[in-house]
Amino acid sequence: MSVEDLKKFMKTLSKEMQRYIKGHAVLANKENILKTVAASQVSIIFGNAGMGKTTQIAQYIYEEYKPDRMIVCTQPRKAEAVYVARRVANDMGSSLGQLVGYRVRADWKLNSDTRILFITDHELVNEWFADELFSRYFCIILDEVQERTIYTDLLLWSLKQNLSRRPDLKVIIISTDTDKLQYDYVGYFKNFNPTQLKLIDNIFPVGVIYKAVAVSENHVKHACLKALEFHREEEVVDGAKDILVFLATHSEIEEAIDEIKSKNINNLLPLGLHEHMRAEDIQDVFAPTMNGFRKVVFATNVAQASLTVPEIICVIDSGKERMRNLGTGNKNSYRFQKISSYSAEERRKLAGRNDAGICYRLYSAKDLDSNPSDDMVEVLTDRLNGFILKLMSHGINKFECLEFFKKPPTEPIEESFKSLTAIGAIDNNNQLTKLGKLLAEINLNPKHAEFILEGIKEHLGYESLVISVLSSFEKFQLMKLDKNTKCNMGLHISIFFDNFGDMITWLNIYQDFLYGQKFCRDSWCDYYLVNSKTI
């Protein structure tokens, strides 16, 4: 064996060892995965959360085929796309933006050598509007399809319509093992004789203990108490040892972190994980826990599938989640609800990924039996205005003509048409107006796009653009709000207050930040309690 051959062998061995460590569950299925993909143009792969499907399958496809075109893998949210791209680039020994890249709106890292690309499903839909044959890609991997955003459903439809025109394009649909729609996917793509594979996975035994919390009690405090109790009673050992606590919102997560920090327990590290976090802010959650320490991760349902936290041995499930409603105004509204029995089971399994575990449910078995069996997927609750404008700008005016994977309900579609008619984007014949075509071209929330256009007419384009961007964030994304700063917030930013409302106040804040000296901006943000990364 030559020196070069030895180097290649050692590099391959190192890569496979990394895969075994980071994704050993899916590695055992590698041969079956490649056979399944080779046997048909469309493949449907099911497996439990945390197996390594997201990080490993794209690598297997690249190494098997070495394609000239890219392999694109969709994720439901921006943070996942960026984080997974970093993880895969590291696995493959490549700098991010070279062999492996990502693109999420204006943030991107890729070049002409990129062969594995991670993007959101929304981003891929935007590409489809410009290139319905997806000509840049050798393989499209639709990941986490069980979350079923409106964009995922549109991608399924567009692929079904155009695959016969791209016989060289491979499509892989990846979902959780318990997705009850697996046979529906097969039927939907029946003209392409899809292959399907259920990944073999061994889940360690997980005990379930019900500790119901009364409605009148603070479930966040109860979750913290249970985490502290587990930490005291269970020895901190090497390997799986961490705690994952499911809560409903970012504010609940912040409350829980403050509660744990107030106990001053040196070897217990409280961390947060939610859908609004940036990829760089979640690194600590997925980094190996130091010897002698234990992490307690407070998370929303984003940790249920797409961002699986490693080394978990204890799950504490509040049984609650926040779901998006169809809003009647400019912003989406939200409701709190009990999780489905499907979600409860997915959360329980996470305690058995690495070793025998325990799941504490802060509700009764009777409550679980009365909960819905399945989640209400986002395709039923997502605001449709921008989506409808885009479709209409490409000549699709009648939704009943679209053979969606699962037909959306008529109520949110009708409300969106009313909203678009009210702002003058659609006429009484359900045709795009000149304004509607402009709004579709701008590719923003139609309300924001209309506001910007009106601002330009009044020679306030810059101001309207800034206000539109700031209004797309929630308050916790703009401010550094924690237990120690909430009471001082009004005092610090009062000099920026404006009688015309919060948005003018935030415009004043942004202007002051922008025109200050650059080297002082971090300290300026600290003083005014402004989130420097967001601003």
226 and 362 share one domain: yes
96 and 187 share one domain: yes
pLDDT of residue 436 exceeding 80: yes
Domain-embedded: residue 535: no
Please give the residue that has the higher pLDDT: either 262 or 371. Answer: 262
Q: Find residue 335's DSSP bridge partners.
A: 323
Last residue of a domain, one of 143, 172, 198: 198
Domain-embedded: residue 534: no
- Residues 214-258 have pLDDT tens digits of 877 899 999 999 999 999 999 888 777 899 999 998 889 989 999
Q: What is the CATH number of the domain that holds 444?
A: 1.20.120.1080
Segment (H or E) for 233: helix 219-233
What is the reported pTM?
0.82
Query: How distant is the alpha carbon of residue 252 from its chain centre?
Result: 19
Could you give the CA distance from residue 318 to residue 303 in angstroms, rounded to a whole number?
14
pLDDT of residue 301 exceeding 90: no
Sheet strands (E) in 346-442? 357-361
Last residue of a domain, one of 471, 501, 518: 471
Could you give the CA distance from residue 274 to residue 259 in angstroms, rounded to a whole number?
18
Q: What is the CATH number of the domain that holds 101?
A: 3.40.50.300
Strands 137-142 and 170-176: parallel
Domain-embedded: residue 533: no
- Residues 320-357 have pLDDT tens digits of 887 765 544 445 556 678 888 888 998 999 999 888 89
Please give the residue that has the higher pLDDT: either 149 or 1. Answer: 149
247 and 391 share one domain: no
Mean pLDDT over 120-143 rounds to 94
pLDDT of residue 27 exceeding 80: yes
Could you give the CA distance from residue 275 to residue 301 in angstroms, rounded to a whole number?
9
Could you give the CA distance from residue 103 to residue 88 in angstroms, rounded to a whole number?
14
Q: Find residue 175's DSSP bridge partners.
A: 46
pLDDT of residue 490 exceeding 70: no
80 and 121 share one domain: yes
- Burial state string for 198-226 with b = 16 or more CB within 10 A and e = fewer than 16: ebebebeebeeeeeebeeeeebbebbbeb
232 and 333 share one domain: yes
**Count of alpha carbons within 13 angstroms of residue 443, beta-carbon side:** 10
302 and 252 share one domain: yes
Say if residues 37 and 170 touch (Cβ distance below 8 Å). yes
Q: Which of 362-376, 445-459, 520-534 has the highest mean pLDDT?
A: 445-459
pLDDT of residue 70 exceeding 90: yes
31 and 174 share one domain: yes
Mean pLDDT over 477-491 rounds to 57
The number of distinct structural domains making up the chain is: 4
Please report which confidence band the pLDDT of residue 151 belongs to, taking 50, 70 and 90 as the band edges: confident
Domain-embedded: residue 58: yes
- Residues 497-534 have pLDDT tens digits of 888 888 888 898 888 888 876 668 878 887 888 877 77
Give residue 422's domain range.
384-471
296 and 339 share one domain: yes
Could you give the CA distance from residue 312 to residue 243 in angstroms, rounded to a whole number?
6
**DSSP string of 31-80?**
HHHHHHHHT-SEEEEEE-TTSSHHHHHHHHHHHHH--SSEEEEEESSHHH
517 and 394 share one domain: no
Please give the residue that has the higher pLDDT: either 14 or 383. Answer: 383
pLDDT of residue 363 exceeding 70: yes
Last residue of a domain, one of 169, 198, 227: 198
Please report which confidence band the pLDDT of residue 382 belongs to, taking 50, 70 and 90 as the band edges: very low
343 and 465 share one domain: no
pLDDT > 70: what percent of the chain?
84
Domain-embedded: residue 411: yes
